[in-house]
Amino acid sequence: MSDFFFARSQMAMSLAFHIVFAALGIGMPLLMVMAEGAYLRTGRPVYLELSKRWAKGTAILFAVGAVSGTVLSFELGLLWPGFMGKAGAIIGMPFSLEGFAFFTEAIFIGVYLYGRSRLPPLLHWLSGAVVAISGVFSGIFVVTANAWMNAPAGFRIVGGKFTEIDPVAAMFNPASFHEVLHMTLAAFAATGFAVAAVHAFFLLRDPASLFHRCALGLALAVACVSIPLQIASGDLSARAVGRLQPAKLAAMEAIYRTEDGAPLLIGGIPDDAARTTGYALVIPHGLSLLLADSASARVTGLEEYPRKDWPNVRIVHWSFDLMVLSGFAMLALAGWSGWIWWRRPPLAGHPWLLRSLVAAGPLGFLAIESGWVVTEVGRQPWIIYNVMRTEEAVTPLPGIAVPFAAFTVLYVFLAFVVVGLLRHLFLETPGADPQLPSA
Amino acid sequence: MLPLATAVSLLLSLILYALLGGADFGGGIWDMLAFGPRAARQRKLIAGAIAPIWEANHVWLILAVVVLFTGFPAGFAVMMTALNIPITAMLIGIVLRGSAFIFRNYDSQSGPGQRHWSTVFGIASILTPFSQGMILGALATGQIRVADGHVSTGFFAGWLTLYALACGMFALGLFAFLAATYLTLDAKGQPDLQEDFRRRAIWSGIALVPIALVVLLASRHGAPEMFQGLTRWWAPLLFGATGLCGLGALGALWRRLFAAARAAAAGQVTLILFGWSLAQYPNLVTPDVTVENTCAPETTLRLLLLALGAGALILLPSLAFLFRLFKGDERH
Ligand code: HDD
Ligand code: HEM
Ligand code: HEM
């Protein structure tokens, strides 16, 4: 296996690791602020306790997010100097704005975590709100940089050189809006379902626990509001990809031939050599309807592109289906919870709902990971779509297997420790008695 | 003008990183070296001093990288290629340090976990500043060469020289000195701890002198352009001022004027980095990569500086608030 392969794997592994903490870093502060807000409004101590527990969890996750993010900022150059040497001047701007969002976030998370006794309650709550808002902004800025790789804008190429650089146009490129929207909602949905799963788990053991009931309520509120929006925004993303990156769309849908009235293929085994997808669930005209609201609309197939410009169709198609499947599973669960909440509360009295919520805990993150695989692998062989190929960008350094192995071991180890610490944190959560001494 | 202004903002973030983040690394070194009957209390003091602020302090490094790759993208590509190995070592140190520190804080407070995390925290606090010194040193050696935009000297040039290694040692000593000096203030109200760190600050301050001499002597052959820079007309002034700050810091420590010692030590670090940058200018990677020949187009630089200025408007008051909240008590 080549150094190029290991460079790609190292980038993918680092990002796949970071995105978990990044998404929680966007979602957790919201939960923590909601809990503290509920305490300020109602004065019920259980909400104070809840916000303290969630803040502790956030502190651990945030630290790992910060260090893995630092690694990424260097890795952009360590692994892809050919890319950063040219693109730095164009997309550096969102990264520098992101830097300030991090600063704000890091400052106020210090204030929030350690300043509870030093600040009046409202100011303390506000500092939490600043963390939540700047978390969203860091996500927004960095995703615009990724969107630029998919829909490059704000420059011209003259004789192999990038000229007439316009960083503002690059930041507001045609892919920014849908990617930013979809990613931000993804962070809320995934955090909501993951946190709901933890508290549903404890409620199964101890259905009377006020602490876990309140926690489940808040987490589900975030999850149930964001998931329908997320699916709508996914539709928006798919249409945008159809316009901006038709080859990626064809790979997502495993469509080899250009057709009027293209079917929607779910699952199946794409076969590049035969240019067909076997064993799929076929919904006639489905894709044309979804993309263009017309049963006979034309959808471009992969055959229009030279073979060397195809991404790995199987990975992209299966990842896409995985994301969509997870999305609809979460939507169903949100519907079920909402219905129970409306008709037959409390939620804690429904063990099958609780069990399903526990099972659905990882789904949001599964969808985030597979969604990013769709975006990134689907863009291949380009690092900047239709402008620069990924292999032109890679570092000449030999032996990339070594740092790849080192960071993989390091991250697997960190993941174990984080899970252990969070487990520890939750196992000592209060049971039925909300009036526990504060931590 | 624009490239120079961008380079200055890069230097400013590096200085702030050294003054704030560097001291946090120094704290890690003293955490590992804590000994004697008060070791547990020393560790507790260090943890308490770092915990609320380390994450913010760490962002100065991120800011420096971002300014570097936005403002000098081609220079960034050269550095990341030629110095890939020590930079990777530094990153591993950063990951281990940050996570060990936070894990230790949230792990159960008794048991072997604590000691293991302390060890990891300490080792990573040594690895990182040492690599950082080595990386900055390597840039000046003149051994990293670029032909047609590509690094032509491989992946081991520069950073394994005596000069770069001495720079690594120097960074380590400097951060330890800085941390011990700051900790005398954090220990206010605990005179025995204050004495511990006062002694450590003085010893590490004295130990810096021979290391600085080695750096200077090694630069003669190891980093000739840097050495030439250090013999220009402004050099004696700068050496004088740096030396005065150093002596002032030691004297203030001796007389237990801890706030003055902190100011003098911070001044010393600032002057060292300032002098280094003057001697390095206009090179980023001596001799082929300069501020002028790798800077981004003007539009980018203008926007970058604008973003930095606007960011500073939010950032500086927030930072002031953070430090007031957690470090304010010690002010006299
Ligand atoms: C909770 C997570 C989640 C859920 C439930 C969904 N997605 Fe998604 N999706 C993501 C999380 C995500 C993501 C990880 O956040 C991505 C990667 C890049 C991006 O912008 O969002 C993504 C990318 C992404 C892309 C590629 C965008 C691009 O390359 O520019 C498309 C077309 C969709 N999604 C479509 C959908 C559809 C039709 C869904 C319907 C069920 C759906 N997603 C559910
Ligand atoms: C702003 C966010 C992101 C940026 C700027 C970014 C940038 C990059 C770059 C520069 C590469 C290497 C070149 C390439 O293969 O095209 C890459 C590859 C990759 N990234 Fe991302 N990425 C981002 C988010 C993510 C996330 C969150 C994931 C999560 C799983 C991810 C998954 C991958 C994968 C799987 C690859 C390898 C693709 C392949 O080589 O087949 N990316 N990304
Ligand atoms: C190439 C891609 C990326 C780079 C270079 C990068 C860089 C960083 C850095 C340096 C940090 C640490 C900041 C600190 O110290 O506070 C960080 C944290 C963070 N990143 Fe990323 N990041 C990338 C991808 C992403 C993506 C795709 C998201 C998605 C939304 C994201 C969202 C965040 C958030 C919210 C944080 C805050 C820290 C946390 O809560 O864990 N980042 N990132």
Summarize pLDDT for A315-329 with one digit per residue, the tens. Answer: 999 999 999 999 999
ipTM above 0.95, yes or no: no
A22-48 pLDDT, tens digit each:
999 999 999 999 999 999 999 899 999
| CB atoms B76 and A84 under 8 Å | yes
Instruction: Dig out the tokens for A239 from the structure.
Output: 């249409």
* CB of A383 shorter than 6 A to ligand 2: yes
* CB of A190 shorter than 6 A to ligand 1: yes
Report CA A194 to chain centroid distance, whole Å.
13
Compute the distance from residue B296 Cα to the ligand 3 centre, in Å. 24
Looking from the CA of residue A175, the nearest atom of ligand 1 is 30
Closest CA to B134 of B103, B158, B100, B102: B158
Burial (CB count <10 Å: 0-12, 13-18, 19+), residue A222:
buried
Whether residue A351 has a cis bond before it, omega within 30° of 0 = no
B69-121 pLDDT, tens digit each:
999 999 999 999 999 999 999 999 999 988 888 888 777 666 666 778 888 88
Smallest Cβ–Cβ distance between A100 and the set B61, B91, B315 belongs to B315
Q: Find which of A224-233, A260-269, B179-188, B209-218 is predicted with most confidence, using mean pLDDT.
A: A224-233
pLDDT bracket for residue A412 (50, 70, 90): very high
What is the 3-class SS of A298-327, one letter each residue? Answer: EECCHHHCCHHHCCCHHHHHHHHHHHHHHH
Helix or strand (DSSP H, E) at B286: none
Please check whether residue A217 is in contact with residue A362, taking contact to mean a CB–CB distance below 8 angstroms.
no
Question: Does B281 score more than 60 pLDDT?
Answer: yes
- Strands (E) across A13-86 are located at none
Instruction: Dig out the tokens for A366 from the structure.
Output: 């599964």
φ/ψ bin of B289: left (φ > 0), alpha (ψ from -120 to 50), beta (otherwise): beta
In chain A, the residue whose alpha carbon lies closest to the alpha carbon of B151 is: A396
| CB atoms A96 and B80 under 8 Å | no
Helix or strand (DSSP H, E) at B190: none
Closest CA to B163 of B248, B227, B93: B227
**DSSP conformation class of A6:** H
| CB atoms A73 and B66 under 8 Å | yes
Question: What is the C-alpha separation between B170 and B215, in angstroms, rounded?
Answer: 8
| Residues contacting B118, CB < 8 A, separation 6+ | B31, B32, B43, B100, B104
Domain count, chain B: 1
Residue linked to tokens 């489905």: A286
Q: Report the nearest-CA residue for atom 39 of ligand 1.
A: A234
Higher pLDDT, B238 or A229: A229
* Count of other CB atoms within 10 angstroms of residue B234: 12
pLDDT bracket for residue A431 (50, 70, 90): very low
- Mean pLDDT over residues B259-285, rounded? 89
| Residues contacting B215, CB < 8 A, separation 6+ | B163, B166, B167, B170
Please check whether residue B230 is in contact with residue B219, taking contact to mean a CB–CB distance below 8 angstroms.
yes
Q: Find which of A371-385, B227-241, B257-271 is predicted with most confidence, using mean pLDDT.
A: A371-385
Question: What is the C-alpha separation between A407 and B35, in angstroms, rounded?
Answer: 32
Length of chain B: 332
Helix A210-244 vs helix A313-343: angle between axes, to the nearest 10 degrees?
A: 140
Please check whether residue B117 is in contact with residue B103, taking contact to mean a CB–CB distance below 8 angstroms.
yes
Question: Chain A: nearest CA to B269, how far in angstroms?
Answer: 23
| CB atoms A93 and B303 under 8 Å | yes
* CB of A12 shorter than 6 A to ligand 2: yes
Helix B191-222 vs helix B162-186: angle between axes, to the nearest 10 degrees?
A: 160
Question: Does A139 score more than 90 pLDDT?
Answer: yes
Question: What is the C-alpha separation between A272 and A253, in angstroms, rounded?
Answer: 13
B306-323 pLDDT, tens digit each:
989 888 888 888 888 888
State the pTM of this model: 0.92
CA angle A344, A346, A348 (to 5 degrees): 125
Smallest Cβ–Cβ distance between B77 and the set A62, A77, A104 belongs to A77
Q: What's the confidence (pLDDT) of residue B332? A: 31
Q: What's the confidence (pLDDT) of residue B112? A: 67
Q: Which domain holds residue B61?
A: 2-331
Question: What is the C-alpha separation between A422 and A21, in angstroms, rounded?
Answer: 13
| Residues contacting B6, CB < 8 A, separation 6+ | B67, B71, B72, B291, B295, B301, B304, B305
Report CA B200 to chain centroid distance, whole Å.
19
- Mean pLDDT over residues A58-63, rounded? 88
Question: Chain B: nearest CA to A333, how far in angstroms?
Answer: 33
Q: What's the confidence (pLDDT) of residue A439? A: 33
Compute the distance from residue B124 Cα to the ligand 3 centre, in Å. 22
Smallest Cβ–Cβ distance between B69 and the set A71, A88, A118 belongs to A88
* CB of A369 shorter than 6 A to ligand 2: yes
Question: Chain B: nearest CA to A67, how far in angstroms?
Answer: 5
pLDDT bracket for residue A365 (50, 70, 90): very high
Q: What's the confidence (pLDDT) of residue B328? A: 64
Question: What is the C-alpha separation between A9 and A6, in angstroms, rounded?
Answer: 5
End-to-end CA distance of chain B: 41
In chain A, % of residues over pLDDT 70 = 97
Range with lowest mean pLDDT among A68-82, A213-227, A327-341, A412-426: A412-426
Question: Does B329 score more than 90 pLDDT?
Answer: no
